[in-house]
A and B are shown apart, each in its own frame.
Chain A
Amino acid sequence: MIIELFSIFFKIGLFSFGGGYAMIPMIRNEIVSRGWLTAEGFANIVGIAEMTPGPIAINMATFVGFKTIGFFGSVAATLGVVMPSVLLILLISKIFFKYQSHPIKQGLFYGMRPVIVGLILSAAYFMAETSLFIVKPGEWTGNFLSQVDWVSVGIALLTVVGIRKYKLHPILLLGVGGAIRIGLKFVGV
């Protein structure tokens, strides 16, 4: 079973383009169909994987591995999901750093860089959609402004100002964001 777990996650690591979120349906297919976890148990794991730091792919592999076999399961699943990327990257990184000024490489990245900027902006948009509103995305009704979570908007703005103007460390600002919420809850707002 450990070997099966490893090879499942190896396969998932090999075929998941576009980061951790793209892996969720693949993992669910493999794990739930084998009866290793229920659909509900899996949904809970996704929630935790999103809440805790680190790549979602790693979090899910570790968690699913632990829930199915225990410690060694989590080691096998995590190794499995990481290994394809590492091997592929090692293969291509030589080429990547070698031909720095080749016109094809320059053209390639000239065209890709703005696309990456677009992807980052869309990530900001989707993150804002789930984090800065009281209701879930897609459930907006009636007055738009009344559904904005203004405290969260304030925290987001504070973070922007803290980094741009005062050059504070991102980790500090994450802590401040959490602390503001805890503080408000503590005084009962």
Chain B
Amino acid sequence: MKDKRLLRTLFWTFFKIGCFTFGGGYAMIPLIEREVVDTHHWVSREEILDILAVAQSLPGAIAINSSTLIGYKMAGKTGALISTLGMVLPSFLIILIIAMVFSAFQENEWVRTAFVGIRAAVVGLIVIAGYNMFKAAVKDKIGIGILVVTLFLLFLLDVHPILLLIGGAGFGILLYILFPEKGRGSR
């Protein structure tokens, strides 16, 4: 069965992503992009954005939600479970080990020092992800408008991300209903 090979690749790809995701869901985007879009061509860059939008809109960790979605797309329910397992297992094992040697790890100066550098690199990674996603997602003036409004509401009014996503979705649907020719033109 060729499915078996795909499942194995799914598992190890998400295992790898799970091993190197420092700093929460968004820090994982550059890795997902590299592995899932560039290396394996499982989804396009636009589709990654849609997957992230769904992952962020549902409850739970963004990393888990997106790995489940991508796994489902590639290999159905089994794929979803295998990908999620791959994503969860590294954290689970690492934490288990750390929990056993708890204080020694947290207080080790060399560990702390390494993490200062790792976090700095993560900033660079997220900036790149933002740039790539900007190119894939924002294709006209309306898109730029939505982005500017999002940043304004997020930083100055502290609006919850879920509300912003719902607002963006509602605006987009309205636009496609009022101007159906727009949708045909841009895609």
Q: Footprint of B on A, CB under 8 Å?
A: 13-21, 44, 47-59, 62-63, 66-67, 71, 74, 78, 81-82, 84-86, 88-90, 92-93, 96-97, 103-104, 106-125, 127-128, 130-132, 149, 151-153, 155-160, 163-164, 169-171, 173-174, 176-182, 185
Would you list the 6 A-B pairs with minimal beta carbon distance, nearest first?
A111-B172, A54-B91, A159-B124, A85-B60, A107-B176, A177-B121
- Given A54-B21, A54-B90, A156-B127; A48-B121 close (CB under 8 Å): no
**Residue pair B170, A111 in contact (C-beta under 8 Å):** yes
Contact with A along B58-76 (1 / 0, CB 8 A): 1111111100110011000
Query: Bound complex: CA of A17 vs CA of B62, how far in Å?
Result: 9
30 contacts between A and B (CB under 8 A): A13-B60, A17-B58, A18-B160, A52-B22, A52-B91, A58-B64, A62-B96, A66-B96, A74-B96, A85-B61, A86-B81, A88-B59, A88-B60, A107-B173, A113-B46, A114-B146, A115-B53, A124-B26, A124-B126, A124-B129, A128-B123, A153-B120, A159-B124, A163-B128, A170-B125, A171-B31, A173-B124, A173-B125, A174-B22, A185-B109
Q: Which residues of A contact B121 (CB under 8 A)?
A: 155-156, 158-159, 173-174, 176-178
Closest to B134 in A: A117
B84 contacts partner chain A, Cβ-Cβ < 8 Å: yes
- Given A82-B84, A170-B20; A157-B68 close (CB under 8 Å): no
**A86 in complex: contacting residue of B84, B95, B169, CB < 8 Å:** B84
Query: Bound complex: CA of A85 vs CA of B59, how far in Å?
Result: 6
**Residue pair A93, B53 in contact (C-beta under 8 Å):** no
- Given A90-B68, A130-B119; A182-B133 close (CB under 8 Å): no
**B122 in complex: contacting residue of A49, A57, A174, CB < 8 Å:** A174
**Residue pair B117, A178 in contact (C-beta under 8 Å):** yes
**B95 in complex: contacting residue of A66, A124, A170, A171, CB < 8 Å:** A66
**Residue pair B150, A55 in contact (C-beta under 8 Å):** no
**Residue pair B60, A119 in contact (C-beta under 8 Å):** no
Query: Bound complex: CA of A62 vs CA of B61, how far in Å?
Result: 14
**Residue pair B124, A158 in contact (C-beta under 8 Å):** yes
Q: Which residues of A contact B155 (CB under 8 A)?
A: 122, 125
**Residue pair B95, A111 in contact (C-beta under 8 Å):** no
Query: Bound complex: CA of A79 vs CA of B102, how far in Å?
Result: 22
Q: Footprint of A on B, CB under 8 Å?
A: 16, 18-31, 34, 46, 49-50, 52-54, 56-65, 68-69, 72-73, 77, 80-81, 84, 87-88, 90-92, 94-96, 98-99, 102, 105-106, 109-111, 113-130, 133-134, 136-138, 143-144, 146-147, 150-151, 154-155, 160-162, 164-165, 167-177, 180, 183, 186-187
Query: Bound complex: CA of A107 vs CA of B81, how far in Å?
Result: 30
**Residue pair B25, A93 in contact (C-beta under 8 Å):** no
Query: Bound complex: CA of A90 vs CA of B148, how far in Å?
Result: 33
- Given A119-B56, A152-B120; A170-B30 close (CB under 8 Å): yes
**Residue pair A152, B117 in contact (C-beta under 8 Å):** yes
Query: Bound complex: CA of A13 vs CA of B133, how far in Å?
Result: 27
Q: Which residues of A contact B169 (CB under 8 A)?
A: 107-109, 111-112
**A111 in complex: contacting residue of B30, B92, B114, B173, CB < 8 Å:** B173
Q: Which residues of B contact A115 (CB under 8 A)?
A: 53, 146-147, 150, 161, 164-165, 167-168
Query: Bound complex: CA of A131 vs CA of B117, how far in Å?
Result: 9
- Given A54-B21, A85-B59, A160-B127; A118-B150 close (CB under 8 Å): yes
**Residue pair B84, A131 in contact (C-beta under 8 Å):** no
- Given A117-B138, A173-B124; A53-B80 close (CB under 8 Å): no
